[in-house]
Amino acid sequence: MRIKYRFRQVRRLTAALLLGALPSFALAAQSPPTPPAATGPAPLPSPSVIHYTKKPSGLKHLFFRSLGDMKAYYTAPLHWKRRNWEYFGGVVAAFAIAHHYDTQVRQHFVGSSNPPIGPKPPSSAVYTDAMPGFAAFALTWGYATLTGNRAGKSEAWNMLESAGLASLTGEAMKFAFGRQRPYQTNDTNKWFAGGSSFPSLHVTAAFAIGTVLAESGNPKIRWLRRTIGYGIGIGTAYLRMKHNAHWLSDTVVAAALGMATAHFVLDRRAAEAMDNSTVTVVPVRGGAMLAFAHVFH
């Protein structure tokens, strides 16, 4: 009994810590050939030439980039600003509202006002419920590979990275909170009981992938991307509740976790793109020339 008590204390301590930490072909300038000596006024001094070094590319670069993102991701709460804390407060409020309706939503899907414990979801649901998100990633990666589209490959990697980071966090939360699933109990407050309901990893990954799809690519079809991307997340949440695998509040927190992680990764890529661009003013005879350089990788 003492060992079980201490195990629950570890869960509660981990949960408290998680709540406090929940939701950042190269161009090379070439020197012009030296002109022959000429009579007349002395020429302007040649400006310094800025050389741009090609950054590493390929899977090795993506791997090490992801390691840097992971470090920044898990230390981000230490640097949160007011807007971040407002978002976190909104998630807590959304969880409280959803938790209030957990029982009613479950009754709707199981079709009983006083449902018995169960039924357990079919084993195939683990795979079928993950198909929308996996299909979005596979189609994005496949199309980008066939067409040689670098932007598409980067988008697919952002999907994979977002889903991975969010799922790692979700798995830690599952262990910390130990909430039992709807087919295991009728009590919506069965926390720290060895369960794995909170949050839903299916929904977390689906919203991470769907958010990257929604907020990337051509802005002219943003409405279509958002319809498909967020529709993938909402559809996955519906399937998990329909199969009696999760409470409503499990899916709400999972959605927030997935979206927040995806926006973190996208913001890091945007900041990286800004760092790769340089504007230089070069003096020339009779005026100045504005030069812009960007490193593509």
pLDDT digit string, tens, across residues 41-70: 555 444 444 444 445 556 676 677 777 888
Of the candidates 117, 248, 86, 278, the one whose C-alpha atom is nearest the C-alpha of residue 186 is: 117
Range name among 8-12, 222-226, 283-287 with the lowest pLDDT average: 8-12
Confidence category of residue 120, pLDDT binned at 50, 70, 90 = confident
51 domain-assigned: no
Q: Identify whether the C-beta of residue 199 lies closer than 8 Å to the C-beta of residue 251.
A: yes
| Start-to-end C-alpha separation, the chain | 57
Q: Identify whether the C-beta of residue 174 lies closer than 8 Å to the C-beta of residue 199.
A: yes
For the stretch 73-101, what's the b/e string if a residue is b when 16 or more beta carbons lie within 10 angstroms of its beta carbon?
A: beeeeeeeeeeeeebbeebeeebeebbee
Cis omega (within 30 of 0) for bond into 199: yes
What mean pLDDT is predicted for residues 75-86?
91
199 domain-assigned: yes
16 domain-assigned: no
Q: What is the pLDDT of residue 34?
A: 47
Cα distance between residue 174 and residue 194, in whole Å = 9
Residue 35 has pLDDT above 70, yes or no: no
Residue 40 has pLDDT above 60, yes or no: no
144-174 residue pLDDT tens: 999 999 999 999 999 999 999 999 999 999 9
Of the candidates 121, 138, 119, the one whose C-alpha atom is nearest the C-alpha of residue 129 is: 121
Residue 17 has pLDDT above 50, yes or no: no
Residue 71 has pLDDT above 70, yes or no: yes
Confidence category of residue 119, pLDDT binned at 50, 70, 90 = confident
268 domain-assigned: yes
Confidence category of residue 96, pLDDT binned at 50, 70, 90 = very high
Q: What is the pLDDT of residue 48?
A: 46
Q: What is the pLDDT of residue 41?
A: 52
280 domain-assigned: yes
Average pLDDT, rounded, for the chain: 81
224-281 residue pLDDT tens: 999 999 999 999 999 999 999 999 999 999 999 999 999 999 998 888 776 544 555 5
CA triple 3-6-7, angle to 5 deg: 85
191 domain-assigned: yes
Q: What is the pLDDT of residue 106?
A: 93
8 domain-assigned: no
80 domain-assigned: yes
What mean pLDDT is predicted for residues 178-185?
94
Note down the domain range covering 204: 71-294
Number of domains present in the structure of the chain: 1
Q: What is the pLDDT of residue 238?
A: 97
Confidence category of residue 33, pLDDT binned at 50, 70, 90 = very low
Residue 20 has pLDDT above 80, yes or no: no
